[in-house]
């Protein structure tokens, strides 16, 4: 077993960062206390949970009603579904990207990420809501052969409804990989629920722990499974973004051909995933009393990632934009008129500010990054920015009349489409349904992984170094 | 044939490791005794027997099956309904890649899930002796043993410092 010193740095925020109070430094937690506190977090705030569940449940029903009413009114009119496509894209962006926070740092053996892995992996289960919203979108999406001719797509000779089937297959695979990642890493904690919780939680723990006892072979295969599902998840996520952007954005706009756009979409998904993990961690810390588990170190590290991904946002955006701007072909000019200075400029400008400029300016300051609230504010800004960005892209794309589908480029730029009552209902309902899924998950299993927290406690030790303090962290081979 | 499961409970890791050494020295076969923990200790920390696994075979076989099926499906479709697009050959690999990739990944993921069930020995229908305190930091050393050697195994566990001994058949 090799050991490395994490003095003054990476693994734990050094004490010398005055002003962050008890958030800095290392807290020694006994395994029994970790177990008790984290299991108790599933029952904490019962009244608040009930109230929020009811509110979110009602809003989810409102969203379902919005979809049904919109379907009754305009299932044959693609241009009416832009905001629904935007919110589906936003949920894929947020819920799809978050689990990578549980994958990439873990594969790199980072210690700060341990309390966040459960939280971020759980976001993959938001895929249930995304898939549900995709149903009316797929019903509206034109087949490959429309009006007697084959429209431009990535599917070449494939059967007529290939994009309709493949998007469900892609999203289903992503959900399965996410579920595998979440469940396998949660198995030891289900065993802890089986052993130490009460009532229905005990029964759920018993069923889902599947006889887990913590033997050598079980721990060994658990580590490998997390690595495998993490790798699969990343590979499928990129593919899903590729299929989604190709069929639900580029495929419905004549003349839009952009090799960078799918990657831009995937990258902004990672940015959104980091942002939503920060916000959820802040909420868990604030409302579930998990200050000893979700500490400055986690927010500091995520703040750095958010800063880096915000810079990547502008890199990918500009890489795509410059091709169209310099291209000056009729198709290129139409793209700039459509997506930049066109009908959704009201979403483009604030979206650009909030996805890149504001978070960049905000997170560049050390004092902001080395705090709990600073990265959280940055994360809220980023999420709003990305919601506006998805509206810019998908509302514009879906506002193109279907009769133009066979044109070589967009001859007429559609007018601005503003959300109607049903759109508001769908947006609010979709976001509420996603939040409700998360809320329900964390009533069953602790939001912070018990075994990963205990493992960090096992492998770390506060030490005095010269006149300072640090944490010695063992990294098993 | 082993018909008894004996669990020694320890509060500290050091005596648990001593118990594992003691069982090996007493001649109990590797693989018949194991350490149970609520936290993953580094591999080999207790001197435990680390069995070989075949976990990587499952996704590999799944991916091969998915890949082959997808090639057959896409090639078969294009041969059955030949249609020249953009002057490209009927069997254009780039057009097939999208479907092939998806089916390969889907099969690999499903095979991995199946692999978990086999390789993790889950669901564990007969877990043997167990104690709930293991998930709150205690360490268990469990041995499957014949009745004739049960006394000897128990003695080794006690000598190493087991705070409690539990039995299961």
B110 touches chain A (CB under 8 A): yes
The predicted structure's pLDDT at residue B82:
82
Give the closest residue to A361 by CA, choosing from A393, A319, A314: A314
**Cβ distance of B135 and A192 shorter than 8 Å:** yes
The predicted structure's pLDDT at residue A364:
93
B119 contacts on A by Cβ (under 8 Å): 217, 221
**Cβ distance of B135 and A35 shorter than 8 Å:** yes
Alpha carbon separation from A250 to A74, A88, A254, B103 (Å, rounded):
22, 16, 8, 23
* Distance from C-alpha of B119 to C-alpha of B110, rounded to nearest angstrom: 14
Alpha carbon separation from A304 to A25, A308, A310, A352 (Å, rounded):
19, 6, 10, 20
Interface test with B, best of A221, A234, A235 (most B CBs within 10 A): A221
Element (DSSP H or E) covering residue A468? strand A468-475
State the SS3 of A144-156: CEECCEECCCCCC
The pLDDT tens digits of the residues spanning B115-168 come to 877 766 666 666 678 888 898 888 999 998 888 888 898 899 999 888 989 888
Structure tokens at A227: 């690595």
Nearest to B36 among A215, A239, A454 (CB): A215
Tell me the CB-side half-sphere exposure of residue A130, using CA atoms within 13 A: 26
B125 touches chain A (CB under 8 A): yes
**Cβ distance of B112 and A210 shorter than 8 Å:** no
Average pLDDT over chain A, rounded to an integer: 88
pLDDT at A430 over 80: yes
B45 contacts on A by Cβ (under 8 Å): 1
Interface test with A, best of B80, B110, B120 (most A CBs within 10 A): B120
CA angle B37, A104, A235 (to 5 degrees): 110
The predicted structure's pLDDT at residue B123:
63
Residues 6 or more apart whose Cβ sits within 8 Å of residue A360: A307, A310, A311, A314
Nearest to B122 among A211, A232, A454 (CB): A211
* Distance from C-alpha of B166 to C-alpha of B169, rounded to nearest angstrom: 10
Question: Which chain A residue shows the shortest CA-CA distance from B48?
Answer: A216
**Cβ distance of A228 and B124 shorter than 8 Å:** no
The predicted structure's pLDDT at residue A177:
93
Q: How many CB pairs under 8 A join A and B?
A: 168
The pLDDT tens digits of the residues spanning A32-87 come to 778 788 888 878 777 888 899 999 999 999 999 999 999 999 888 889 999 999 99
Largest pairwise CA distance in chain A = 79
The pLDDT tens digits of the residues spanning A191-239 come to 999 888 888 888 988 888 888 888 888 888 888 888 889 999 999 999 9
A225 contacts on B by Cβ (under 8 Å): 55, 112, 116, 120
**Cβ distance of B102 and A239 shorter than 8 Å:** yes
Interface test with B, best of A156, A192, A236 (most B CBs within 10 A): A156
| % residues pLDDT > 70 (chain A) | 94
A216 touches chain B (CB under 8 A): yes
Order of strands, edge to edge, in the sheet holding A468-475?
A2-5, A468-475, A460-465
The predicted structure's pLDDT at residue B124:
64
The predicted structure's pLDDT at residue B120:
64
* Distance from C-alpha of A344 to C-alpha of A415, rounded to nearest angstrom: 9
Residues 6 or more apart whose Cβ sits within 8 Å of residue A422: A66, A67, A69, A70, A73
The predicted structure's pLDDT at residue A25:
60
Residues 6 or more apart whose Cβ sits within 8 Å of residue B168: B4, B5, B7, B128, B129, B130
Nearest to A218 among B105, B109, B120 (CB): B120
A455 touches chain B (CB under 8 A): yes
* Distance from C-alpha of A189 to C-alpha of B56, rounded to nearest angstrom: 25
pLDDT at A126 over 90: yes
Question: Percentage helix, strand, coil, to 5, in chain A?
Answer: 70, 5, 25
pLDDT at A18 over 90: no
B83 contacts on A by Cβ (under 8 Å): 157
**Cβ distance of A180 and B112 shorter than 8 Å:** yes
B108 contacts on A by Cβ (under 8 Å): 232
pLDDT at A4 over 80: no
pLDDT at A189 over 60: yes
Give the closest residue to B39 by CA, choosing from A114, A306, A18: A114
What pairing do the DSSP bridges indicate for beta strands A2-5 and A145-146? unpaired
B43 touches chain A (CB under 8 A): yes
* Distance from C-alpha of A433 to C-alpha of A88, rounded to nearest angstrom: 12
- Indicate the domain borders of chain B: 4-53+127-168, 57-119
pLDDT at A431 over 60: yes
> Would you call A462 helix, strand, or coil by DSSP?
strand
ipTM metric: 0.84
Could you tell me which CATH class the domain B4-53+127-168 is placed in? alpha beta
Number of neighbouring beta carbons within 10 Å of residue B29: 13
B123 contacts on A by Cβ (under 8 Å): 210-211
A455 contacts on B by Cβ (under 8 Å): 39-40
Lowest average pLDDT, out of A44-53, A276-285, A303-312, B79-88, goes to: B79-88
The predicted structure's pLDDT at residue B1:
65
Residues 6 or more apart whose Cβ sits within 8 Å of residue A395: A82, A83, A85, A86, A344, A347, A417
The predicted structure's pLDDT at residue A1:
40
Structure tokens at A146: 């429309």
Structure tokens at A268: 């902004």
Distance from CA of A56 to the nearest CA of B (A): 32
The pLDDT tens digits of the residues spanning A110-122 come to 888 889 999 999 9
**Cβ distance of A211 and B123 shorter than 8 Å:** yes
B78 touches chain A (CB under 8 A): yes
What is the per-residue DSSP string for A31-90? HHHHHHHHHHTTTTTHHHHHHHHHHHHHHHHHHHHHHHHHHHHHTT-GGGGHHHHHHHHH
Compute chain B's Rg from CA coordinates: 26
Rounded to an integer, the average pLDDT of A422-447 is 94
Distance from CA of A408 to the nearest CA of B (A): 15
pLDDT at A26 over 70: no
Rounded to an integer, the average pLDDT of A19-30 is 59
B50 touches chain A (CB under 8 A): yes
Q: Are A374 and A368 in contact (CB under 8 A)?
A: yes
**Cβ distance of A215 and B35 shorter than 8 Å:** yes
B52 touches chain A (CB under 8 A): no
Interface test with A, best of B31, B37, B46, B110 (most A CBs within 10 A): B37
The predicted structure's pLDDT at residue A15:
37
Alpha carbon separation from A249 to A88, A164, A242, A260 (Å, rounded):
12, 14, 10, 13
pLDDT at A17 over 70: no
Alpha helices in A75-215 (DSSP H): 82-97, 99-107, 117-122, 127-140, 162-196, 199-209
A155 contacts on B by Cβ (under 8 Å): 95, 98
Lowest average pLDDT, out of A18-27, A263-272, A308-317, B122-131, goes to: A18-27
B119 touches chain A (CB under 8 A): yes
pLDDT at A293 over 60: yes
A157 touches chain B (CB under 8 A): yes
């Amino acid at each position: 077993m090799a050991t490395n010193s994490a003095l003054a740095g990476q693994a734990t925020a050094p004490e010398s960062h005055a002003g962050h109070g008890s958030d800095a430094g290392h807290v020694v937690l006994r395994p029994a206390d970790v177990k008790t506190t984290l299991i108790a977090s599933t029952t904490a705030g019962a009244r608040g949970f009930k109230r929020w569940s009811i509110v979110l449940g009602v809003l989810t029903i409102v969203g379902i009603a919005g979809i049904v009413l919109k379907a009754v009114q305009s299932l044959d009119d693609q241009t009416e579904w832009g905001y629904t496509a935007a919110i589906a894209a936003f949920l894929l962006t947020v819920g799809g990207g978050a689990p990578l926070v549980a994958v990439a740092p873990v594969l790199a053996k980072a210690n700060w990420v341990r309390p966040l892995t459960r939280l971020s992996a759980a976001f993959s289960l938001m895929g249930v809501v995304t898939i549900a919203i995709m149903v009316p979108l797929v019903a509206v999406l034109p087949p490959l052969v429309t009006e007697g001719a084959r429209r431009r797509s990535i599917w070449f000779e494939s059967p007529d409804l290939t994009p309709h089937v493949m998007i469900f297959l892609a999203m289903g695979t992503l959900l399965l990989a996410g579920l595998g990642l979440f469940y396998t890493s949660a198995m030891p904690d289900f065993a802890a629920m089986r052993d130490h919780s009460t009532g229905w939680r005990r029964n759920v723990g018993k069923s889902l722990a599947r006889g887990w006892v913590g033997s050598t072979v079980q721990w060994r295969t658990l580590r490998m499974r997390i690595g495998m599902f993490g790798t699969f998840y990343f590979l499928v996520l990129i593919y899903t973004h590729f299929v989604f952007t190709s069929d639900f954005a580029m495929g419905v706009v004549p003349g839009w051909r952009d090799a960078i756009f799918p990657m831009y979409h995937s990258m902004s998904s990672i940015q959104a995933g980091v942002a939503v993990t920060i916000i959820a961690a802040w909420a868990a810390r604030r409302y579930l009393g998990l200050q000893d588990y979700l500490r400055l170190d986690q927010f500091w590290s995520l703040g750095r990632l958010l800063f880096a991904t915000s810079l990547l946002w502008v890199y990918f955006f500009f890489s795509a934009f410059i091709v169209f701007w310099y291209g000056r072909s009729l198709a290129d000019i139409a793209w700039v008129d459509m997506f930049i200075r066109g009908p959704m400029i009201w979403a483009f400008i604030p979206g650009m500010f909030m996805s890149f400029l504001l978070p960049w300016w905000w997170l560049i300051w050390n004092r902001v990054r080395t705090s709990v609230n600073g990265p959280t504010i940055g994360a809220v800004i980023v999420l709003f920015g990305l919601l506006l960005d998805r509206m810019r892209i998908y509302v514009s794309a879906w506002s193109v009349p279907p009769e133009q589908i066979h044109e070589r480029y967009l001859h007429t730029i559609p007018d601005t489409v503003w959300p109607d009552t049903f759109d508001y209902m769908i947006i609010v309902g979709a976001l509420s349904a996603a939040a409700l899924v998360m809320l329900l998950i964390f009533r069953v299993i602790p939001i912070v992984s018990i075994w990963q927290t205990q493992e960090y406690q096992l492998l770390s030790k506060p030490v005095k170094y010269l006149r300072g303090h640090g944490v010695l962290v063992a990294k098993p081979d | 044939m082993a018909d008894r499961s004996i669990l020694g409970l320890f509060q500290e890791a050091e005596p648990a490791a001593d118990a594992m050494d003691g069982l090996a020295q007493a001649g109990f076969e590797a693989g018949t005794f194991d350490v149970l923990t609520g936290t993953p200790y580094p591999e080999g920390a207790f001197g435990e027997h680390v069995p070989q696994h075949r976990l990587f075979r499952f996704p590999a076989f799944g991916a091969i099956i998915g890949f082959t099926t997808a090639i057959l499906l896409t090639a078969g479709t294009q041969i059955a309904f030949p249609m020249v697009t953009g002057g490209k050959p009927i069997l254009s690999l780039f057009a097939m890649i999208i479907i092939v990739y998806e089916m390969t990944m889907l099969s690999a993921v499903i095979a991995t899930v199946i692999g978990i069930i086999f390789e993790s020995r889950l669901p564990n229908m007969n877990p043997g002796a167990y104690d709930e305190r293991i998930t709150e930091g205690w360490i268990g050393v469990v041995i499957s043993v014949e009745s004739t050697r049960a006394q000897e195994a128990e003695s080794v566990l006690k000598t190493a410092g087991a705070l409690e001994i539990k039995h299961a058949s």
